[in-house]
Amino acid sequence: MADLAKVAGVSKITISRALSDSPLVQRETRERLQALAHELGYKLNVSARNLRLRRSHTVAVIVEMKPSHDRTMLDPYPLILLGGISQELTAHGYSVLLTTRQGATAAAVQAADGLILLGQGSRQDAVRRFDKLGLPMVVWGAPGDEHIVVGSDNEQGGRVVAEHFIRLGRRNPVFVGNPNHPEIFERLNGFVAALAKHGVKPLLIRRDEFTLASGGDAMHSLMDRGVPFDAVFACSDLLAMGAIRALNTLGCTVPGDVSVVGYDDMPLAASFLPPLSSVRQDWQEGGTLLARKVLALIGDQPQQSETLPVELIVRET
Amino acid sequence: MADLAKVAGVSKITISRALSDSPLVQRETRERLQALAHELGYKLNVSARNLRLRRSHTVAVIVEMKPSHDRTMLDPYPLILLGGISQELTAHGYSVLLTTRQGATAAAVQAADGLILLGQGSRQDAVRRFDKLGLPMVVWGAPGDEHIVVGSDNEQGGRVVAEHFIRLGRRNPVFVGNPNHPEIFERLNGFVAALAKHGVKPLLIRRDEFTLASGGDAMHSLMDRGVPFDAVFACSDLLAMGAIRALNTLGCTVPGDVSVVGYDDMPLAASFLPPLSSVRQDWQEGGTLLARKVLALIGDQPQQSETLPVELIVRET
DNA sequence: GCAGCAAATGTTATCGATATCTTGATATCG
DNA sequence: CGATATCAAGATATCGATAACATTTGCTGC
């Protein structure tokens, strides 16, 4: 900028003003300087500006990201939220600093103007760690009173599936998933509560992995134990698909003998054989909302937690 | 830091040295100052350091990311590469600045120490735009001579599928995909060349979308035209799955009448019915390599393009 | 006892941009 | 015509860290 100023025969500050379209500089001068800057290939030094302005126009997104081949694809939801987040932040001139939990100690995170936590980052211990940074922060997941949380309505998710099963006349439903995970716990809650209204008590099969294998395995162990069941609510589409395959192998028909509903409505659900019924969350909207809230917080506008509705897509299972 | 210095009764620079574990400061002093800094909750100002050191310890990853519900999931590969990239960069104290092409004009990108381009960013016009920034840059995709490219061996991918078809005695293979895309063009090349050695000439069905619908559609149009074919090489697993479904509907059996091979070996491929044969790329490794090369370039070590081998997973289609 | 040197710490300048306060020139008005 | 308002541009200080150079202190060896 100093060089530019010398070439143009003005002072640094005039250059600064001209480049930021300040009305303090005469239009002609401004345009001349802008043209000159462009011509000389001048690049603003962001670090210097950040230092001076005491803000980085950057939001750190902290993701729980396991590197294994399946995991990344099987559990891609944090990454999908990224789409909405990135779009919204970019539109407001902010950048996304992507970090895993391990990397979050890196200095760069402290430079961020705000924080978005995705994935199991919602685990309380993890969240508190970032709390200490004192940055505007929004968390994806199940609502609690400690933080500003955006998430889809997992309780509603459980409820609509329960009602669906009741409507179908199912009396022995099974829930497959990991209730230690707060979001899944909410689904279970909604499921159990809605069923209770009809005097039905579901069976809980705890599975920690969100894999096809795990879903199949759950069905096998159910059959082995000889427990009667006529409906399965799986906490992810993959669990559901694995379950259906296993049920077929075991001689059960879906949806004849057993109804199955998955979660997330991944694109493949629709073309699974048979087409899978599933609960759909609006990730794009979730991401957008997360971003919007951090930006608002950064702008000192108080925010509240918010829950997004889900939708049961009834197909053939 | 100045405050800390005052409290500790030393000068700023001593604080700076102590906190960066410089041996210029006596061990006792160093430890005392570190403890004090921790106690007072001192946070390094990254912008200031970046300014002074003229580097940001940040690598910008520019992704072609479409926001639609399907797209993100259907075409998640840029996001998967992110896993490897992020892991490797983090391990070396670097951060990942995630940007879409639109957002790449944002100032923050210029502050990065290096650039990684993913997705269709490999389109020449886009790549050149970033070239001008003069930053160390590595591109994912098909090798060209202009840039340093990391990618999987798409030609080999085409070749192994061709050989597989020949081995099965197929004489009328079809290629489904968008050859405008450089990576897919390479697959086509390898496919055609390997088939030619056996006197076989494949049919090309151009499809731009990587969706189930598109795959089905391709099969329908083939049948309508009455073209005989006995093998399909689809450029993505989704295309392949769509094709198989359509073939079944049209009264063809897979793999009886028609062999089908997909690409990417997504986790679901294995549990598709019938289990899908597919070409697998090692995304994790690809990401790691991308990151490693940018880091090397940043460290002024010259680098070359590199191609990763792929593997044909033969299942039942 | 003092040159000479090493170890530990301090001083000053600097990275590149911008906020605040001035200054000088022109316009406006009674 | 002089006083004040208005506008354009400059001077200086500052953001928070660190590199380069400077200084102090304590010690060795002759």
Q: Give the residue nearest to nucleotide C14 (CA to C1').
A: B52
Does B271 contact A245 at a Cβ distance shorter than 8 Å?
yes
**How many angstroms away from the CA of A93 is the closest CA of chain B?**
7
What average pLDDT is seen over chain A? 88
Cα-flanking dihedrals φ and ψ of residue A227, to 5°?
-75, 135
Q: What is the pLDDT of residue A104?
A: 66
Q: What is the pLDDT of residue A69?
A: 41
Nearest CA to A259 among A174, A200, A135?
A174
Task: Specify the CATH number of the domain A58-150+283-306.
Answer: 3.40.50.2300
CA distance B260 to B230: 9
Strands B95-100 and B58-63: parallel
CA distance A143 to A293: 15
The domains of chain A are located at 2-44, 58-150+283-306, 154-280
Q: Which residues of A touch B110 (CB under 8 A)?
A: 43-44, 46
The number of C-beta contacts closer than 8 angstroms across A and B is 178
Does A96 contact B97 at a Cβ distance shorter than 8 Å?
yes
CA distance B38 to B19: 10
Tell me which residue in A80, A241, A242 faces B73 most closely, judged by beta carbons: A80
Q: Which residue has the tokens 């450089």?
A: B182
**Distance of A59 CA from D13 C1′ (whole Å):** 30
Does B90 contact A97 at a Cβ distance shorter than 8 Å?
no
Strands A306-308 and A148-152: parallel
DSSP structural state of residue A92:
T
CA distance B170 to A161: 47
What's the rounded mean pLDDT across residues A226-245? 92
Contact A111, B113 (CB under 8 A): no
CA distance B106 to B101: 10
> What's the number of CA atoms in the CB half-sphere (13 Å) around residue B211?
13
- Per-residue pLDDT 10s for chain B (317 aa) are 888 888 988 999 999 999 999 888 899 989 999 999 999 989 899 999 999 999 999 999 988 755 444 444 335 666 778 888 988 998 898 999 988 777 666 777 888 999 999 876 456 777 788 888 889 999 988 887 788 999 999 999 999 999 999 999 999 999 999 888 888 999 999 999 999 999 999 999 999 888 888 999 999 999 999 889 999 999 999 899 999 989 999 999 988 999 999 998 887 788 788 899 999 998 889 999 999 999 999 999 999 999 999 999 999 99
Task: Specify the CATH number of the domain B58-152+283-307.
Answer: 3.40.50.2300
- B-interface mutation test, from A73, A219, A249, A278, most B Cβ less than 10 A away: A73
Task: Cite residues whose beta carbon is less than 7 Å from strand C.
Answer: A 1-2, 12-13, 16, 19-20, 43-45, 48-49, 51-53; B 9-14, 17, 23-26, 29, 48, 51-52, 54
**Distance of A8 CA from C28 C1′ (whole Å):** 32
Task: Cite residues whose beta carbon is less than 7 Å from strand D.
Answer: A 9-14, 23-26, 29, 48, 51-52, 54; B 1-2, 12-13, 16, 19-20, 43-45, 48-49, 51-53
**How many angstroms away from the CA of A181 is the closest CA of chain B?**
22
What's the per-residue H, E or C state across chain B?
Answer: CHHHHHHHCCCHHHHHHHHCCCCCCCHHHHHHHHHHHHHCCCCCCHHHHHHHHCCCCEEEEEECCCCCHHHHHHCCHHHHHHHHHHHHHHHCCCEEEEEECHHHHCHHHHCCCEEEECHHHHCHHHHHHHHCCCCCEEEECCCCCCCEEEEECHHHHHHHHHHHHHHCCCCCEEEEECCCCHHHHHHHHHHHHHHHCCCCCCEEEECCCCCHHHHHHHHHHHHHHCCCCCEEEECCHHHHHHHHHHHHHCCCCCCCCCEEEEECCCHHHHHCCCCCEEEECCHHHHHHHHHHHHHHHHCCCCCCCEEECCEEECCCC
Contact B229, B222 (CB under 8 A): yes
> What's the number of CA atoms in the CB half-sphere (13 Å) around residue A34?
13
In chain A, whose CA is at the least distance from the CA of B245? A271
A81 confidence band (pLDDT: 50, 70, 90): confident
Type and span of the H or E element at A13: helix A12-19
Nearest nucleotide (CA of A11 to C1') = D10
Q: Is it the case that residue A94 has pLDDT exceeding 80?
A: yes
Does A97 contact B95 at a Cβ distance shorter than 8 Å?
yes
Tell me which residue in A72, A238, A268 faces B80 most closely, judged by beta carbons: A72
Tell me which residue in A67, A86, A109 faces B87 most closely, judged by beta carbons: A67
**Both ends of chain B: CA-CA distance in Å?**
65
**How many angstroms away from the CA of A71 is the closest CA of chain B?**
9
SS3 A280: strand
Bridge partner list, B308: B152
Nearest CA to A208 among A74, A314, A36?
A74
Contact B308, B151 (CB under 8 A): yes
Percent of chain A whose pLDDT exceeds 70: 93
**How many angstroms away from the CA of A278 is the closest CA of chain B?**
15
Q: Which residues of B touch A54 (CB under 8 A)?
A: 47
Tell me which residue in B76, B87, B99 faces A73 most closely, judged by beta carbons: B76
Does B49 contact A96 at a Cβ distance shorter than 8 Å?
no
Nearest CA to B291 among B92, B35, B130?
B92
**How many angstroms away from the CA of B101 is the closest CA of chain A?**
10
Give strand D nucleotides closer than 7 A to any protein Cβ.
7-12, 14-20
Q: What is the pLDDT of residue B120?
A: 61
Nearest nucleotide (CA of A4 to C1') = C16
Contact B203, B231 (CB under 8 A): no
Q: How far is CA B161 from the centre of its chain?
A: 22
Nearest nucleotide (CA of B43 to C1') = D16
Contact B200, B163 (CB under 8 A): no
Q: Which of A63-67, A275-279, B21-25 has the least mean pLDDT?
A: A63-67
* Neighbour count for residue B304 (Cβ, 10 Å): 9
Does A108 contact B87 at a Cβ distance shorter than 8 Å?
no
Q: Is it the case that residue A313 has pLDDT exceeding 50?
A: yes
SS3 A233: strand
Strands A259-263 and B277-280: unpaired
Domains B58-152+283-307 and B154-280 share a fold: yes
Cα-flanking dihedrals φ and ψ of residue B303, to 5°?
-130, 160
CATH 3.40.50.2300 fits B154-280, yes or no: yes
Q: Which of A22-36, A185-199, B101-115, B127-141 has the least mean pLDDT?
A: B101-115
> Tens digit of pLDDT for each residue in A119-149?
764 567 777 888 888 899 999 888 877 889 9
**Both ends of chain A: CA-CA distance in Å?**
65
Tell me which residue in A65, A212, A284 faces B83 most closely, judged by beta carbons: A65
Q: Is it the case that residue A47 has pLDDT exceeding 60?
A: yes
| Structure-block tokens of residue A218 | 């759950």
Nearest nucleotide (CA of A51 to C1') = D15
**Strand order from edge to edge, sheet including B58-63:** A306-308, A148-152, A137-140, A114-118, A58-63, A95-100, B95-100, B58-63, B114-117, B137-140, B148-152, B306-308
Nearest CA to B239 among B264, B256, B222?
B264
DSSP structural state of residue A95:
E
Contact B90, A63 (CB under 8 A): no
Q: What is the pLDDT of residue B294?
A: 96
Q: What is the pLDDT of residue A72?
A: 43
Amino acid at B9: G
Q: What is the pLDDT of residue A67?
A: 45
Q: Which residues of A touch B98 (CB under 8 A)?
A: 61, 82, 86, 95-98
Q: Give the residue nearest to nucleotide D18 (CA to C1').
A: B52
Cα-flanking dihedrals φ and ψ of residue A67, to 5°?
-80, -10
